[in-house]
C-alpha cells in the first residue's frame, strides 16, 4: 500500500513538473492529450462496456467548441457559460438522437453514428451565421480563474488535466457502480440482462448522453486552447481518431484511454518530421497495434505483467 | 382449498410463418405450486415459455399474472413484478465473475440514477453495498463461494445452471420459469437440481418447469403434455405416464 502511494506521489511530481521541463510544442501536445483523454473516455465507456461503436464524437466535440466560442466571442459571456451551454445542448441532442438510433446494433449502429457525424459536419459548414463556416470563430478568450489567466500551454495544462482527472474519476465511479454492473451484463448477454429487468434501451441512451457530455467538455477545452474554431476540426476524420483512442489503448481501461490519447496526439506529430510519408507511417503503426495487440496497449501490458508474475511464481516454487 | 392462480394462460395461439406452433393452449399455475410442461421436440414448449416471459408476443390469447394482463408488458416489467426465467442454454455473463453475475441479478432490487453513480454519492455506495451483501449471501447458499472470483466462462455446464438459478433467485422471484434446467447435467447434478426446486418451492416460489426429463418432472404436482401446439393430457406424473395418448406420442405404443 505504501509502495502504491509512493508510485502515485512520484507520478504526481512528474505530472506537475512536465510542462516546465519540456519544450513549448510538447507542452501543447500534452494539453491536447488531456483534451483527447476526456473525449476518449466517453467512447471507451460505450465501446468497452456496452459494445457500441460511436463514430459521432466529433459532433459533440464541435457542439461544445462552438457553444464556448459563440457564448464568449459573440455574446461576451463568461467561459463557464459556454461549457454549460455546450454540455446541455450535446446531452439533449444525444438523448433525442440516441433513443431511435440505439435500437440498432453492431455495424448498423456504427453506421448510424457515422451518419450523425457526417450530417453535423455538413451543418457546421452550412450554418455559417452560427459557426462562421470555414472562416470559423476567432478570438476566443483564454480562461481566467479569478484573474489568473491560463494563457500559456504550461498553465492551461493544469486546468485541462484537472478536468481530465475528474472525468476519469467519474468514469471509474460509473464502471464500479450498479450502472457499470448492468452495462457489463448487457454487453455479455442482452437476452439474460433483459430477463433480470435491466432496461437495455434506457441504459444505452444514458451512457450515450454521458459520452456526449465528455465530448462536449473536450470541445469547450479545445476552443479555449486554440482560440479559433472552424469546421475543419469537427469532421468525420476527427470522429474516427476519437474512436481510435480506446481501440488503441484498451477500451475497458482508464489508463488505456490516456495511452490511446498519447498515441493519437504524439505519434502523428513525431512522424511528421519524416516528411510526406508520415500519414502512411501512422496508418501502418495503427494497423500494427490493432493486429498485434487486439486488446490494446493496456491489454498487452497486463499480459506481459501476468507472464512475469507466472515466471516469478515458478521461480519461487 | 383452491388458491388464486398466479399465472393464467387462456387460449394462447401462435404461428411462425404458416406453422401453427401453439393452438389454443390454456392452463393455470396455482400460487405456490410446481407445474410441469412436457412434450417432444418442436411441440411448442419454448415458444410458450417465451410468450410467458415476454420474449414473444402471442398472436392470440391472454396471459394473466396475479390478475393483471401481461401481453403488452415488457420483459423488464415482468421481471420487476417477480416473473423470472432461466434459459435452455444457460445464459451466464461470460466475461464477468461468478459474484458479479449474481450481483447483476439483484441490481433490479435497488435504484440509483446515473448522476449518483457518476459522482459515487453515499446513496450509490449504499446501494452497491446492499447488492454485494445479497450476492455474497446467495453465493454462500448455492455453494458458489469457491468459484466466487472465477470468470463465468470457465464454469462447467452444471455450475452454469446453478449460477443461473442463483442469479434468478437473488432477484426475489414469485414465479420462476425453468426452461430445460436438467439438460447437459449428470445424474448427481440433476438430483441436486431437484432438491433445489423442492427447497425453493417450499420457500414460497411458484415454479413452472419445462423439461424432457421424466425423472425430474416427478417434482411437479401437475404436468401438462404439449403435442404439436395442443395440450393432450394434464394431471400428476403417474397419471400422465399411464395416459394412452402420451404413451403413443412418447413411446409409439
Collect all residues of chain A within an 8 Å Cβ-Cβ radius of residue B107.
178, 181-182, 185, 196, 198
pLDDT at B202: 95
Write out the E strands in chain A.
144-145, 148-149
Same domain, B176 and B74: yes
Of the candidates B101, B107, B118, the beta carbon closest to that of A173 is on: B118
The number of distinct structural domains making up chain B is 2
Which residues between 62 and 81 in chain B have a beta carbon less than 8 angstroms from any beta carbon of chain A? Answer: 75-77, 79-80
Most A CBs within 10 Å, among B79, B114, B179, to test the A interface: B114
pLDDT at B129: 94
Q: Is residue B159 part of a domain?
A: no
- Mean pLDDT taken over chain A: 91
Integer Cα distance of B163 and B98 in angstroms: 7
Are B177 and A195 spatial neighbours (Cβ–Cβ below 8 Å)? no
CB within 8 Å of A303: residues ≥ 6 apart = none
Give the sheet arrangement for strand B5-16, strand by strand.
B19-30, B5-16, B60-65, B68-69
The alpha carbon of residue B37 and the mean position of all alpha carbons in its chain are separated, in whole angstroms, by 12
Which residues between 210 and 239 in chain A have a beta carbon less than 8 angstroms from any beta carbon of chain B? Answer: 210
Same domain, B53 and B86: yes
Burial letters for A115-140: b for 16+ Cβ neighbours within 10 Å, e otherwise?
Answer: ebbbebbeebbeeeeebbeeebbeeb
Are B107 and A199 in contact (CB < 8 Å)?
Answer: no
Judged against a pLDDT cut of 60, whether residue B253 lies above it is answered with no
- Mean pLDDT taken over chain B: 91
Same domain, B32 and B88: yes
Are A193 and B124 in contact (CB < 8 Å)?
Answer: no
Judged against a pLDDT cut of 80, whether residue A1 lies above it is answered with no
Residues in chain A: 317
Nearest-Cα distance to chain A for B156, in Å, is: 18
Confidence band, pLDDT 50/70/90 cuts, at residue A32: very high
Confidence band, pLDDT 50/70/90 cuts, at residue A149: confident
3-state SS class at B180: coil
Q: Taking the CA of residue A146 as centre, how many other CA atoms within 13 Å lie in the half-sphere pointing to its CB?
A: 0
Containing domain of residue B218, as a range?
A: 5-92+172-251
Are A198 and B110 in contact (CB < 8 Å)?
Answer: no
Percent of chain B with pLDDT over 70: 98
Q: Is residue B42 part of a domain?
A: yes
Are A181 and B107 in contact (CB < 8 Å)?
Answer: yes
**Residue bearing cell 459522482:** B119
Q: Mean per-residue pLDDT for A51-67?
A: 95
A189 touches chain B (CB under 8 A): yes
Integer Cα distance of B137 and B141 in angstroms: 6
Q: Is residue B165 part of a domain?
A: no
**pLDDT tens digits, A156-205:** 999 999 999 999 999 999 999 999 999 999 999 999 999 999 999 999 99
Integer Cα distance of B175 and B33 in angstroms: 9
Are B25 and B52 spatial neighbours (Cβ–Cβ below 8 Å)? no
**pLDDT tens digits, B54-84:** 999 999 999 999 989 988 889 999 999 999 9
Same domain, B12 and B104: no
Nearest-Cα distance to chain B for A301, in Å, is: 19
A174 touches chain B (CB under 8 A): yes
Q: Mean per-residue pLDDT for A43-47?
A: 93
Integer Cα distance of B202 and B33 in angstroms: 9
Confidence band, pLDDT 50/70/90 cuts, at residue B220: very high
Same domain, B86 and B181: yes
Q: Mean per-residue pLDDT for A2-26?
A: 91
Judged against a pLDDT cut of 70, whether residue B3 lies above it is answered with no
Collect all residues of chain A within an 8 Å Cβ-Cβ radius of residue B128.
176-178
Integer Cα distance of B209 and B189 in angstroms: 17
Same domain, B86 and B177: yes
B228 Rama class: left (phi>0) / alpha (psi -120 to 50) / beta: left
Collect all residues of chain A within an 8 Å Cβ-Cβ radius of residue B91.
189, 191-192, 195
Most A CBs within 10 Å, among B91, B97, B98, B167, to test the A interface: B91
Confidence band, pLDDT 50/70/90 cuts, at residue A279: confident
Lowest mean pLDDT among A32-36, B136-140, B228-232: B228-232
**pLDDT tens digits, B188-209:** 989 999 999 999 999 999 999 9
**pLDDT tens digits, A91-100:** 999 999 999 9
**pLDDT tens digits, A216-261:** 999 999 999 999 999 999 999 999 999 999 999 988 899 999 999 9
Q: How many other C-beta atoms can be found within 10 angstroms of the C-beta atom of residue B232?
A: 17
Integer Cα distance of A210 and A218 in angstroms: 13
Integer Cα distance of A181 and B101 in angstroms: 9
Same domain, B181 and B82: yes
3-state SS class at B141: helix
A199 touches chain B (CB under 8 A): yes
Q: Return the biggest CA–CA distance within chain A.
A: 72
Collect all residues of chain A within an 8 Å Cβ-Cβ radius of residue B82.
none
DSSP state of B121: -
Most B CBs within 10 Å, among A170, A195, A203, to test the B interface: A195
Same domain, B60 and B76: yes
B148 touches chain A (CB under 8 A): no
Collect all residues of chain B within an 8 Å Cβ-Cβ radius of residue A194.
55, 75-76, 79
pLDDT at A316: 63
Most B CBs within 10 Å, among A98, A166, A171, A181, to test the B interface: A181
CB within 8 Å of B224: residues ≥ 6 apart = B27, B35, B36, B37, B38, B231, B233, B234
pTM of the model: 0.90
Q: Is residue B161 part of a domain?
A: no
Q: Is residue B45 part of a domain?
A: yes
Integer Cα distance of A175 and A191 in angstroms: 21
CB within 8 Å of A247: residues ≥ 6 apart = A47, A260, A290, A296
3-state SS class at A149: strand
A248: closest CA among A108, A59, A43? A43
Q: Is residue B81 part of a domain?
A: yes
Most B CBs within 10 Å, among A46, A171, A197, to test the B interface: A197
B171 touches chain A (CB under 8 A): yes
pLDDT at B1: 44
Same domain, B218 and B242: yes
Q: Mean per-residue pLDDT for A292-304?
A: 83
Q: Taking the CA of residue B244 as centre, how many other CA atoms within 13 Å lie in the half-sphere pointing to its CB?
A: 0
**How much is the CA Rg of chain A, to the nearest whole Å?**
20
Domain residue ranges in chain A: 25-238
Same domain, B239 and B211: yes
B167 touches chain A (CB under 8 A): yes
Burial letters for B128-164: b for 16+ Cβ neighbours within 10 Å, e otherwise?
Answer: beebbebbeebbeebebeebeeebbeebeebbbbbbb
Write out the E strands in B141-190.
175-179
Are B128 and A182 in contact (CB < 8 Å)?
Answer: no
Are B107 and A188 in contact (CB < 8 Å)?
Answer: no
Nearest-Cα distance to chain B for A305, in Å, is: 19
**pLDDT tens digits, B4-34:** 799 999 999 999 988 888 999 999 999 999 9
A185 touches chain B (CB under 8 A): yes
Judged against a pLDDT cut of 60, whether residue B2 lies above it is answered with no
Are B108 and A192 in contact (CB < 8 Å)?
Answer: no
Burial letters for B37-64: b for 16+ Cβ neighbours within 10 Å, e otherwise?
Answer: bbbeeebbbbbbbbbbbbbbebeebebb
Are A173 and B76 in contact (CB < 8 Å)?
Answer: no
Same domain, B15 and B112: no
Collect all residues of chain B within an 8 Å Cβ-Cβ radius of residue A252.
none
Same domain, B17 and B49: yes
CA distances from A97 to A56, A89, A207 (A): 11, 12, 13
Task: Pick the residue from chain A with its C-alpha nearest to B103.
Answer: A181
Judged against a pLDDT cut of 60, whether residue B161 lies above it is answered with yes
Query: Which has more confidence, A102 or B42?
Result: A102
- The ipTM assigned to this model is 0.89
Amino acid at each position: 500500500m505504501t509502495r502504491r502511494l509512493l508510485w502515485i506521489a512520484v507520478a504526481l511530481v512528474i505530472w506537475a513538473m512536465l510542462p516546465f521541463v519540456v519544450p513549448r510544442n510538447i507542452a501543447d501536445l500534452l494539453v491536447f492529450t488531456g483534451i483527447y483523454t476526456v473525449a476518449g473516455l466517453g467512447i471507451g465507456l460505450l465501446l468497452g462496456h456496452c459494445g457500441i461503436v460511436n463514430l459521432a464524437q466529433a459532433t459533440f466535440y464541435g457542439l461544445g467548441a462552438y457553444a464556448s466560442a459563440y457564448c464568449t466571442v459573440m455574446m461576451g459571456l463568461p467561459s463557464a457559460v459556454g461549457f454549460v451551454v455546450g454540455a446541455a445542448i450535446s446531452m439533449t441532442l444525444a438523448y433525442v438522437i440516441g433513443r431511435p438510433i440505439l435500437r440498432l446494433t453492431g455495424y448498423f449502429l456504427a453506421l448510424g453514428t457515422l451518419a450523425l457525424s457526417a450530417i453535423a459536419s455538413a451543418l457546421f459548414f452550412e450554418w455559417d451565421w452560427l459557426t462562421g463556416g470555414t472562416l470559423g470563430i476567432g478570438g476566443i478568450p483564454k480562461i481566467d480563474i479569478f484573474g489568473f489567466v491560463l494563457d500559456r500551454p504550461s498553465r492551461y495544462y493544469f486546468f485541462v488535466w484537472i478536468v481530465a482527472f475528474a472525468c476519469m474519476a467519474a468514469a471509474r465511479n460509473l464502471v464500479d457502480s450498479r450502472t457499470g454492473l448492468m452495462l457489463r451484463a448487457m454487453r455479455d448477454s442482452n437476452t439474460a440482462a433483459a430477463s433480470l429487468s435491466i432496461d437495455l434501451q434506457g441504459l444505452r441512451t444514458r451512457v450515450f448522453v454521458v459520452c456526449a457530455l465528455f465530448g462536449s467538455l473536450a470541445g469547450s477545452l479545445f476552443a479555449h486552447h486554440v482560440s479559433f474554431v472552424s469546421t475543419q476540426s469537427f469532421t468525420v476524420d476527427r470522429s474516427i481518431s476519437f474512436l481510435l483512442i480506446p481501440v488503441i489503448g484498451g477500451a475497458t481501461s482508464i489508463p488505456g484511454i490516456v495511452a490511446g490519447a498519447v498515441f493519437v496526439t504524439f505519434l502523428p506529430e513525431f512522424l511528421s518530421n519524416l516528411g510526406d510519408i508520415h500519414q502512411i507511417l501512422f496508418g501502418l503503426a495503427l494497423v500494427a497495434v490493432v493486429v498485434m495487440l487486439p486488446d490494446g496497449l493496456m491489454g498487452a501490458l497486463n499480459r506481459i505483467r501476468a507472464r512475469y508474475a507466472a515466471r516469478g511464481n515458478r521461480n519461487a516454487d | 382449498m383452491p388458491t388464486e392462480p398466479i399465472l393464467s394462460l387462456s387460449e394462447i395461439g401462435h404461428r411462425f410463418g404458416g406453422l401453427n406452433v401453439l393452438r389454443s393452449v390454456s392452463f393455470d399455475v396455482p400460487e405456490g405450486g410446481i407445474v410441469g410442461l412436457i412434450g417432444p421436440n418442436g411441440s411448442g414448449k419454448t415458444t410458450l415459455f417465451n410468450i410467458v416471459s415476454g420474449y414473444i408476443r402471442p398472436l392470440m390469447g391472454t396471459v394473466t399474472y396475479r390478475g393483471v394482463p401481461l401481453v403488452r408488458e415488457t420483459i423488464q416489467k415482468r421481471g420487476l413484478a417477480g416473473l423470472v426465467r432461466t434459459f435452455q442454454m444457460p445464459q451466464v455473463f461470460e466475461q464477468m465473475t461468478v459474484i458479479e453475475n449474481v450481483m447483476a441479478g439483484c441490481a433490479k432490487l435497488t435504484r440509483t440514477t446515473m448522476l449518483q453513480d457518476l459522482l459515487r454519492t453515499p446513496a450509490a455506495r449504499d446501494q452497491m453495498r446492499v447488492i454485494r451483501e445479497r450476492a455474497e449471501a446467495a453465493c454462500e447458499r448455492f455453494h458458489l463461494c469457491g468459484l466466487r472470483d472465477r470468470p463465468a466462462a470457465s464454469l462447467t455446464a452444471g455450475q452454469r445452471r446453478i449460477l443461473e438459478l442463483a442469479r434468478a433467485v437473488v432477484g426475489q422471484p414469485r414465479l420462476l420459469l425453468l426452461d430445460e434446467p436438467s439438460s447437459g447435467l449428470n445424474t448427481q447434478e440433476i438430483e441436486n437440481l431437484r432438491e433445489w426446486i423442492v427447497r425453493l418451492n417450499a420457500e414460497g416460489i411458484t415454479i413452472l418447469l419445462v423439461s424432457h426429463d421424466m425423472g425430474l418432472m416427478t417434482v411437479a404436482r401437475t404436468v401438462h403434455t404439449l403435442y404439436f401446439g395442443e395440450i393432450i393430457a394434464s394431471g400428476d406424473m403417474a397419471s400422465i405416464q399411464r395416459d394412452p395418448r402420451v404413451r403413443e406420442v412418447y413411446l409409439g405404443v
